[in-house]
Amino acid sequence: AQSVTQLDSQVPVFEEAPVELRCNYSSSVSVYLFWYVQYPNQGLQLLLKYLSGSTLVKGINGFEAEFNKSQTSFHLRKPSVHISDTAEYFCAVSPNAGGTSYGKLTFGQGTILTVHP
């Protein structure tokens, strides 16, 4: 089984400031890791994913995340945020081995990022 903990439920930040959204996970099997963004009244859009290889992953809209296996973390970062980045962000994992749960996503509780002018 997998679980995901997003350590901050809300993160306020000023425009053009850097931001880090924290994510820790627990799993008895190897996993793929994802960050999704959800704008109000919309579905989820993939920001980035870690499947294998380099632990620093770059995504859309200037976001990046670093996979740290020893700390079981996958924190999301952006060096300079915009007003338009205001949204809810979800960290998720899925097993990367075979079986019926292959590909099933387990999400964290979400972090609401609010960018102030």
Q: Going by DSSP bridges, is the β-strand pair 73-78/64-68 parallel, antiparallel, or unpaired?
A: antiparallel
Amino acid in position 88: E
Q: Nearer Cβ to another protein, position 19 or 111?
A: 111
Q: Residue 14, interface with another protein (CB under 8 A)?
A: no
Q: Nearer Cβ to another protein, position 42 or 70?
A: 42
Q: Residue 110, interface with another protein (CB under 8 A)?
A: yes
Cβ neighbours of residue 105 under 8 Å, at least 6 residues apart?
A: 34, 92, 93, 94
- Asked if 76 and 89 count as a contact pair (C-beta separation under 8 A), the reply is yes
Which of 15, 49, 59, 62 is the binder for another protein (CB under 8 A)? 49
Q: Going by DSSP bridges, is the β-strand pair 31-38/44-50 parallel, antiparallel, or unpaired?
A: antiparallel
Q: Pick the piece of the chain touching another protein (CB under 8 A) from 15-23, 44-52, 60-68, 70-78.
A: 44-52
Q: Residue 106, interface with another protein (CB under 8 A)?
A: yes
Which of 42, 54, 70, 71 is the binder for another protein (CB under 8 A)? 42
- End-to-end Cα distance, the chain: 41
**Residues interacting with another protein, by CB under 8 A?**
4, 6, 32, 34, 36, 41-46, 49, 51, 90, 92, 94-96, 100-110
